Amino acid sequence: MDDERLQFHEMGLDDRLLKAVADLGWSRPTLIQEKAIPLALEGKDLLARARTGSGKTAAYAIPVIQRILTSKQSVREQDVRALILVPTKELGQQVQTMIRQLTMFCSRDVRVANISSKADLSAQRPILMEKPDVVVGTPSRVLAHLSTQNLVLHSSLEMLVVDEADLIFSFGFEADLKNVSCHLPKIYQSFLMSATLTEDVQALKELLLHNPVILKLQGSQLPNSSQLHQYGIKCEEEDKFLLIYTLLKLRLIQGKTLVFVGEVERCYRLKLFLEQFGIPACVLNSELPIHSRCHIITQFNQGFYDYIIATDEQCLADPATTAQTTAAAAAAGKQKKKKKVSEKGGRGKDKEYGVSRGVDFQNVSNVINFDFPPTVNSYIHRVGRTARADNPGSALSFISHTELEKLSEVEEALAGDKADSVLKPYKFKMEEIEGFRYRCRDAMRSVTKQAVKEARLKEIKQELLNSEKLKTYFEDNPRDLQLLRHDKDLHPAVIKPHLKNIPEYLVPASLRGAMHPLSAKRRRWREKPKAEGVVKGSFKNIQGKNPLRSFRYIGGRNRKGEADKS
């Protein structure tokens, strides 16, 4: 069956594009690529639904690049020919990276610019004045540049792509997108790519597409049970912490793991809790700038961390970042004001931030829903971070009694006509880890509200010190920099060393095989039979002398050799 599928070299693509595809190791197109690329090359408008990780980005990027290369054979004038709209900055950077990889052998002919970041419009203007062939950005940033005429599209645009179309409305970009459409030419080719076909996507279809071909390639929005294993375990608040500590510390869950929680504050609470046991994890915080978030994702992808804790918040109010808001207060040494700004829940979170969608987490083996997702779509997009392409993956959800209704909604949506439950029970005997509970409670006592608060402040303070935008300010105001550097030390949480190691007697007999893979080797080394003959002692032979034999004990005699009468 696979042999009958259309191959990349049969699609009439430019040799430089085919070479880049081969360098990326793509031996054959995915289903969405096989169906969408030929239709796009014919000039059709497309509305494509395919699940996360199915290769949607390349499915539109390849025809976009091919059309630009074809156009440049007859038209030499440099201009913006393609606009790609994305809901999040993280996805913007991912799309730019993908296009650069596909144009590695034709980078002079196809240039791409990403304007998703919150840089000043004036700083991005020179990039747009060079008229890159492809512009990637969020609707709000694109509209801002169109309004200032840094970007002009009404005469040159040939292709419009809306990636993750179902998130565009939920991120509040409806008005921006309609305003952007007013700056576009009357005729252009459009692609809408989405994991779900919601009513909002249907509205976008009416707005942007002309007689589109609709591709619905997967009946299920998640991989089948042979590729993705989904489990659920019912446990309350304290048991959630106990369970995740045990699963990670005993290595019952192995490989790169994404842990989703409900809000940013719980991210830090869980991070500090795990650190008590020597389990390093990082937090993907919507309050930090895009560059910092992408740096964390890169570190995770490169293996610096095995565990990343995140939220999938979408209803984020103020697009101004906390680090920028906090800068003036921190630089002036106004600690109280700084803390108040940082502590306000929704303030300072990035409107264009999204973790469960639009972030290229690589080789994720497991997704843990520490807090059960609020909606069915949220569950699909969280779990869709694993079992991507042909790789296997597992998803484990912790479910409290208050989250049972949400579980029922997910089960009903995913099961369809099937009688079986989608989330299989995670067969784990909680009574076997009861001995760990006192350690869990001991760790929780250290993770106070103040500790969480100071952990967040510490991260923001570091962000201020590393900020490129604030370098000029600190050069003009060196005293403010000194005040920030010599601010009082922050102590996120007291680490108790005794919690790092687990005594073997605490580990249930049924789990000892999974505990500390090196311990068996160490035990075997200790149990080796002693070699016959002379066994070397632990003391080193210093200058040929044995310290035990050369040491002279003169009993209770004094210097004159007389016995000590006392």
Q: Is residue 467 part of a domain?
A: no
Domain count within the chain = 2
Q: Are residues 435 and 362 in the same domain?
A: yes
Q: Are residues 249 and 132 in the same domain?
A: no
In this predicted model, which residue has the larger pLDDT, 231 or 468? 231
Both tokens of 413, joined, read 């949506």
Q: Is residue 397 part of a domain?
A: yes
Cβ atoms of 199 and 122 within 8 Å: the answer is no
Q: Is the pLDDT of residue 62 over 90?
A: yes
Residue with tokens 């294993």: 229
Q: Is the pLDDT of residue 361 over 70?
A: yes
Q: pTM here? A: 0.63
Greatest Cα pair distance in the chain = 116
Q: pLDDT at position 135, please? A: 97
Strand partners, 393: 228
Domain final residue pick, 216, 251, 270:
216
CATH of residue 391's domain is: 3.40.50.300
Domain final residue pick, 183, 216, 249:
216
Residue with tokens 């004045």: 129
Q: Centre a 10 Å sphere on the Cβ of residue 83 and count the other Cβ atoms it contains.
A: 24
- Could you tell me where the DSSP H helices lie in 4-76? 15-23, 31-41, 56-71
Mean pLDDT of the chain: 79
Contacts of 553 (CB under 8 A, 6+ apart): none
Q: pLDDT at position 437, please? A: 92
Q: pLDDT at position 427, please? A: 85
Q: Is residue 530 part of a domain?
A: no
pLDDT range class, residue 148, cuts 50, 70, 90: very high
Spatial distance between the Cα atoms of 81 and 112, rounded to a whole number of angstroms: 10
Both tokens of 73, joined, read 């054979």
Both tokens of 284, joined, read 């993907």
Spatial distance between the Cα atoms of 413 and 472, rounded to a whole number of angstroms: 53
**What would the pLDDT profile of 322-357 be if each residue is shown by its tens digit?**
333 333 333 434 343 334 433 334 445 555 555 544
Amino acid occupying residue 159: M
Residue with tokens 């490989």: 255
Cβ atoms of 168 and 178 within 8 Å: the answer is no
Q: Are residues 200 and 245 in the same domain?
A: no
DSSP state of 545: B
Q: Is the pLDDT of residue 555 over 90?
A: no
Q: Is the pLDDT of residue 540 over 60?
A: no
Q: What is the average per-residue pLDDT within 151-159?
A: 93
Contacts of 503 (CB under 8 A, 6+ apart): none
Q: Is residue 96 part of a domain?
A: yes
CA distances from 240 to 248, 378, 408 (A): 12, 20, 20
Q: Are residues 64 and 142 in the same domain?
A: yes
Percent pLDDT > 70 in the chain is 76
Q: Is residue 550 part of a domain?
A: no
Q: Are residues 420 and 367 in the same domain?
A: yes
Q: What is the average per-residue pLDDT within 216-244?
A: 86
Check the CA dihedral 375-379-380-384 and report its sign.
Answer: positive
Q: Are residues 258 and 163 in the same domain?
A: no
Number of residues in the chain: 566
Note the Cα 162 to chain centre separation in Å.
Answer: 21
Q: pLDDT at position 167, please? A: 78
Q: Are residues 250 and 102 in the same domain?
A: no
DSSP state of 458: H
Spatial distance between the Cα atoms of 174 and 115, rounded to a whole number of angstroms: 19
For residue 123, what are the domain limits?
Answer: 2-216
Q: Are residues 188 and 248 in the same domain?
A: no
Domain final residue pick, 168, 186, 216:
216
Check the CA dihedral 310-312-313-319 and report its sign.
Answer: positive
Q: Is residue 528 part of a domain?
A: no
Cβ atoms of 240 and 262 within 8 Å: the answer is no
Q: Is the pLDDT of residue 516 over 50?
A: no
Contacts of 184 (CB under 8 A, 6+ apart): 83, 153, 154, 157, 160
Amino acid occupying residue 172: G
Q: Are residues 245 and 187 in the same domain?
A: no
Q: In what order do the strands lie in the sheet with 282-284?
A: 282-284, 307-310, 257-260, 366-369, 393-399, 228-234, 424-425
Residue with tokens 């076997």: 432
Q: Is residue 300 part of a domain?
A: yes
Q: Are residues 51 and 184 in the same domain?
A: yes
Contacts of 352 (CB under 8 A, 6+ apart): 87, 88, 89, 116, 138, 140, 171, 319
Q: What is the average per-residue pLDDT within 409-414?
A: 89
Residue with tokens 């197109």: 29
Spell out the SS3 assignment of 115-181. Answer: CCCCCCHHHHHHHHHCCCCEEEECHHHHHHHHHCCCCCCCCCCCEEEECCHHHHHHCCCHHHHHHHH
Q: Are residues 237 and 209 in the same domain?
A: no
Cβ atoms of 408 and 253 within 8 Å: the answer is no
Q: Is the pLDDT of residue 126 over 90?
A: yes
**What would the pLDDT profile of 415-441 be if each residue is shown by its tens digit?**
765 656 789 999 888 888 998 999 999
**What would the pLDDT profile of 2-17 be if each residue is shown by its tens digit?**
556 789 999 999 999 9
Q: Are residues 251 and 193 in the same domain?
A: no
Choice among 102-111, 294-303, 327-336, 396-405 with the minimum mean pLDDT? 327-336
Q: Is the pLDDT of residue 277 over 80?
A: yes
